[in-house]
Structures are given as structure tokens and as C-alpha cells.
Amino acid sequence: AAIQNFIATFLQINRGSRLQKFKITYNGRDVCHHGSSEFIAGVINRGVQQLDVGSSTLKRPLTNDLVPVNIYKSNTLVSLKLANVGMQNPPEFGVSLPCLKTVHLEDITTKDPLIVEKLISGCPVLEDLTVFRAFDDNVPVLRVRSLSLKRFCVKFSRARTIHGKEYAVEVDAP
């Protein structure tokens, strides 16, 4: 509750200013149940350019909706790093991230198997894409289609096949 109060007070005091970078790292279940999604939605609405959300210590996402849907319509986001979080499905009207150049996704989960493909298709200036795939990420085929991509890195779980599941990657980029 103390961190929630601190962030809320900070954002309230500085409500007229834009945030360049926002990073929230969690290492336990409590943070996910204390308004983290609302804080993230708030900084996106305030024009954040670099957003870094997640945990490097946890092995599984704690919640399926930590990342709010307004992330898919940011006009200011340049860098997005998500680790061990669940992503909500994008709204029916799609994804539009006209300034997003760098995307780093590590062990994300989603109910939509096309989430990464939809994210990439909404980033016309994407240059750098890194995807660390979890064995249960619900993405049978990772499709990467981008005319602007300069760097692409994909890493899989230690085993290429786990519990009868196979990974596949299709790349259409210069």
C-alpha cells in the first residue's frame, strides 16, 4: 500500500508534466492486486515514451491483465519492454503505435494467439524486436512481418518441444 500511495501522490503532484520513462518491477503477488494496471494506464495516457513492466525473478505471469488495453493506441511510446506479464487482447479497432521502435517481450501470456503479430502490424517504424517465448505462450506460430525491422531476436524455452507442443516462426522482413 505504501508504494501505491507514493506513486499516486507523485503522479498527482506532477500531473501536468509528461513522463519520459516508467518502469515497474514486481516480485510478488501483492503488486498486481494494488492498482498497477491503473498506474500503467495513467502513464500511457500522459505520453510516456519508454515503458518497462515486469519481473525478471518470477517464472510465470501473476495476472492476465496487468497491461491495460490503452497500450495499443499510444502515440508517444517509443520503447516497450514486458516481462512475465499477461497481455489483454487488443481492442477490435486494432493496434496503432506510430512511434514504437523497440519491443522486448519476455514470457508473456495471452488468450489471443495472434497478439504479437497484431502488435507488430501496428508498429510502422519498428526497428528492434526481441521475443523470449514461454512454452505455454499460446502462440503456435510467431509471425513477424515488418518493412522497417532491422534487428530480430527470438529465444525459446530450453526444449524445442514441450508436452507435444512445437514452436514455429515465420519472418517477412528486409
* Whole-number Å distance between alpha carbons of 161 and 37: 33
How high does pLDDT run on average in the chain? 80
Structure confidence at residue 76 (pLDDT): 95
Alpha-carbon span 80 to 129, nearest angstrom: 10
Determine what percent of the chain is predicted with pLDDT higher than 90.
29
Q: What does the pLDDT look like over 158-169, one tens digit per residue?
A: 555 555 567 788
pLDDT number for residue 49: 95
Integer Cα distance of 143 and 145 in angstroms: 6
pLDDT digit string, tens, across residues 67-124: 788 889 999 999 999 988 878 777 777 899 999 999 999 888 777 888 889 999 999 9
Tell me the pLDDT tens digit for each residue of 10-19.
777 777 777 7
pTM of the predicted structure, to 2 decimals: 0.83
* Strand order from edge to edge, sheet including 79-83: 21-25, 50-54, 79-83, 102-106, 128-132, 151-155
Taking only the tens place, the pLDDT of each residue in 23-68 is 887 765 544 445 677 778 888 888 899 999 886 655 555 555 667 8
